[in-house]
Amino acid sequence: MTTTENARRNGVDTAALFATIDAVAANREIAEFRFRATNTWISGTHNRSSIHGFHGAGQELTHGREHTYDSDHPAILTGGDQGPTGPEFLLHALAACLTSGIANIAAARGVTLTEVSSTVEGDIDLLGILGLDEGVRNGYSRIAISFRLRGDDADALRDVVERSRARSAVLDVLTNGVPVHIDVDAG
């Protein structure tokens, strides 16, 4: 790794990346992060989330600006189509997480990328959420993501994707599940 420690490759500051890993290894409690979104119902199935602050490295932090995202059901599902559905944002979350990982891992290994693109699709049978068939699950039955990578040799690129798969936070949650606690203040 010494040959790449001072390089910027694929737009990744690899020196900063390795320094961050070293800093966390020396002070493991700074690895505890808490990410956050707030959501407000607008009308019908239309609602809006804000993502701004998060906790990490022992402190409260913020993104450079607040990001807001509208979600809704499409017209064919009797919504106002003011944005994608939650399940569609979940597909974006997966592609984004794997792609960020690919860029970091490639840079750390000295692998040059010229293109990373992907299409992610999720199959869902709405008989579940519509309550029409108790044998059908509510969520996706299957998600498939197809990557196209160009850059260094194909074996190196495939190894980078495999390592990103093995280290993806979103893929872990989607494939292995996570406990979700729901609290309600109903007045």
By CB under 8 A, what part of segment 2-21 binds a second copy? 10-13, 16-17, 20-21
Q: What are phi and psi of 11, to 5 degrees?
A: 80, 5
If the CB atoms of residues 2 and 60 are measured against a second copy, the closer one turns out to be: 60
| Distance in Å, CB of 5 to a second copy, minimum | 13
Q: 165: which residues sit within 8 A by CB, 6+ positions away?
A: 98, 171
CA–CA gap between residue 92 and residue 155 (Å, rounded): 26
Query: Burial level of 71, CB count in 10 A (0-12/13-18/19+)?
Result: buried
If the CB atoms of residues 3 and 64 are measured against a second copy, the closer one turns out to be: 64
| Distance in Å, CB of 2 to a second copy, minimum | 18
The correct pick among 1, 3, 40, 135 for binding a second copy (CB under 8 A) is 40
Q: Which of residues 94-153 bind a second copy (CB under 8 A)?
A: 94-104, 107, 113, 115-133, 137-150
Q: Beta 59-71 vs 46-56: how paired, if at all?
A: antiparallel
Q: Which of residues 64-93 bind a second copy (CB under 8 A)?
A: 64, 67, 69, 71-81, 83-93
